[in-house]
Chain A
């Protein structure tokens, strides 16, 4: 007797709806603007999406355990700021400075992990706190100034191998590594198990706290990579670096099918699809000459639809859960 797996049109649409939406969007934008559907533009879209994809990848595991981290934008800014201060004021070798930055991100993430796991503070509140403190610290040490970085580093941001930007390749590698971590390692499976309910996971013998702590640490680590990458792209450290990244990342994940309720979602193709959907809209609206004020509105609408779809999916999941408990 094997499980019944009926075809449910609703479930099918919930799973593949956004893939279809992306195809429709590309078609519409291409109709309005013939240059939209070109390799060159496609590469620019991916180039622009690279940092947020990396941030989103880091925070994806946190979401999959059913928790949240809204401090990653500030983590990105603080670690980039520390790197700049090391380079410009303390005259540390630029390459070394960038290497120091990455573990700093991990430490910032570990602080979030500590507050959530050990001090048992609600993740939203804990990371709201670090959202403000990390950014405040960064503004403090950078004197709230826009600081240009050395040209050789700035050039890295638009470095290409052939026609392809290096940061696209980099984001691709990060996604691939995470895909393996998520689907093929014990840690990855434990993340999903915790997302299904910490109590059950504990009963089965999973180190729930250790798993959660690690996801926050990794999210911080990835945030610092994303921050440095953004800084390279714009050749400077600006006081608004990383602002709004946390919400872009979470929106991107939800659009890509990661549930805020935990225990659900994929790295590939989920994150890639989510990132594409968001950046295609932005770029497409640009191409057809829409007002810049339209973008937040459209993005807001899409996030809302994605959240609603998530809630619908979870409702059907809850139903089964209740049955199982009886």
Chain B
């Protein structure tokens, strides 16, 4: 691929990236969140089109316009989110893009032979008529990989293939990749997890902010070098002045929290008046932890204790919504009713306080006063409190969500990527809002994929890897430490200070 450029509205995702890959090798594509790895591979896989640049196959410029186009040229994509149809059989799932047919009917005899052979090459013998939904995630991935063997693919792209696998399944996948390499297939392996690169890849291309910053043989690299190149040497961009706060009394204690397949023995505590940054790579279980805390997913073990002033006591999922408020990047799932006005949205969770026992109609005057109060307090930029929320900017919508929660005065705010998609100014406002919440005695736990953001806001960090909380880091930790810990490099011995 030569000189690939791609812009999305507001972002230059790729600024002219070139690299090459050879038959029978496994090339690692490394970079932090948002470095452009997935965009680059989506261009190769025909999922998105490049603005500029060419793809050369065997030295010839080859335009790729669609996934079908890519498939025809022998490029297969094993997506992080598997492209499988759960109610169909293994057989149908493998053949779906190219059924062998005879006289207009599907030739299942030939199809079965093809699938059986492809699975056998990977060392599997499934009952081909099993529905895919009855398979484990690991086995489902095997089906998707086996599908690439049917198409005689020459290039197979793996996008974060191990994020849903157990460690045994991961070993099995590495075996398969080695086998595919021995057959002359080119593997392009996207991952955040550095230990995997050293296990299965020969060469690595490192991206940062849409540019290639390094390309070399894996055996010539050390883990420290990789981390350094991923983050670069630039300073933390401080959009926000952090100040030290008095740490308040204990608020939340989580003991051995467990959810089968997602969260593994999580222990931590949060105090009033502190901002805790929850850091981890995509798929490390950050969002799942928040959902478990809010009682949105059922947990399979452990306890959640909250101290509302009468000593720590376990809380039931249903009553947990009271002292906690969840704010996510997807404002629609936070219950923002886009076609309705700011006033309606602000009062929705708190309508009871605007009626009296004898008069069951909403007191319009008081509702309006409260809405105006919050619009002013949070600096929500709008023409009036009757403006439809859909017409507000993302940042102002986010503030309406915060305003809604503020009325129920939660003690703990959980924020999952609260600033994603917001512009710089809106981000800054939300940052000071987070800080003010902590000043007023509430606790804030927040997740961000933006390392600079999380570093400038947090009082301390909790780092998650593969559903486990592996380490707590103090505020003065370096970027390098955060990234290395999250990439699964052993937390004590493996990392030395640059």
Contacts and interface: CB of A to CB of B under 8 A. Distances in A.
Contacts of B239: none
Given A2-B125, A185-B104, A192 B163 contact: no
B126 A323 contact: no
Given A192-B92, A193-B88, A196-B88, 18 more contacts: A1-B139, A3-B130, A184-B105, A186-B101, A186-B106, A190-B96, A195-B87, A196-B87, A201-B85, A203-B67, A203-B79, A204-B83, A205-B66, A205-B67, A317-B86, A320-B86, A325-B81, A326-B137
Nearest to A5: B134
B86 A1 contact: no
Contact of B87 (A201, A204, A205, A263): A263
Interface in A217-268: 263-264
B134 A203 contact: no
Interface of A: 1-5, 180, 184-186, 189-190, 192-193, 195-197, 200-201, 203-206, 263-264, 317, 320-321, 323-326
B85 A196 contact: yes
Centre residue among A4, A193, A201, A264 by max chain B CB count within 10 A: A193
B140 interface: yes
Contacts of B124: 1
B87 A317 contact: yes
B464 to A, nearest CB: 14
A321 B135 CA distance: 11
Contacts of A321: 86, 133
Contacts of A200: 83-85
Contacts of A190: 96
A205 B97 contact: yes
Contacts of A189: 88, 92, 95-96, 99, 106
A205 B97 CA distance: 6
B164 interface: yes
Contacts of B137: 323-324, 326
A185 B105 contact: yes
Interface of B: 47, 66-68, 71, 79, 81-88, 92, 95-97, 99, 101, 104-106, 108, 124-127, 130, 133-135, 137, 139-140, 163-164, 261-262, 283
Q: Name the 7 nearest CB pairs between A and B, nearest first.
A: A196-B85, A320-B133, A263-B87, A205-B68, A3-B130, A184-B105, A203-B83
Centre residue among B67, B88, B101 by max chain A CB count within 10 A: B88
A324 B86 contact: yes
Centre residue among B47, B96, B99 by max chain A CB count within 10 A: B96
Contact of A192 (B87, B126, B139): B87
Contacts of A206: 96-97
A1 B143 CA distance: 13
Contacts of A185: 104-106
A270 to B, nearest CB: 14
A157 B97 CA distance: 44
B139 A3 contact: yes
- Is chain B's interface secondary structure helix, strand, loop, or mixed overall? loop
Centre residue among A190, A193, A195, A204 by max chain B CB count within 10 A: A204
Centre residue among B66, B125, B134 by max chain A CB count within 10 A: B134
A201 B85 CA distance: 8
Contacts of A326: 137, 163-164, 261-262, 283
Contacts, number: 99
Nearest to B297: A322
Nearest to A199: B83
A192 B67 CA distance: 20
Contacts of A205: 66-68, 71, 97
A189 B89 CA distance: 10
A197 B124 CA distance: 27
Nearest to A190: B96
A192 B134 contact: no
B105 A192 contact: no
Given A184-B106, A205-B67, A2 B130 contact: yes
A180 to B, nearest CB: 7
A325 B160 CA distance: 12
A2 B47 CA distance: 33
Contacts of A197: 85
A196 B47 CA distance: 20
A324 B144 CA distance: 12
A180 B105 contact: yes
A191 B87 CA distance: 12
A192 B127 contact: no
Contacts of A180: 105
Nearest to A189: B92
A185 to B, nearest CB: 6
Contacts of B99: 186, 189
B332 to A, nearest CB: 18
A5 B135 CA distance: 9
A323 B261 contact: yes
A324 B88 contact: no
B261 to A, nearest CB: 7
Contacts of B106: 184-186, 189
B67 A3 contact: no
Nearest to A202: B67
A189 B104 CA distance: 13
B86 to A, nearest CB: 6
A186 B92 CA distance: 10
B140 A192 contact: no
A180 B101 CA distance: 13
A2 B85 contact: no
Contact of A193 (B85, B130, B135): B85
16 contacts: A1-B126, A3-B126, A3-B127, A3-B134, A5-B130, A185-B106, A196-B86, A200-B84, A203-B47, A204-B97, A263-B87, A324-B82, A324-B137, A326-B163, A326-B164, A326-B262
Nearest to B138: A1
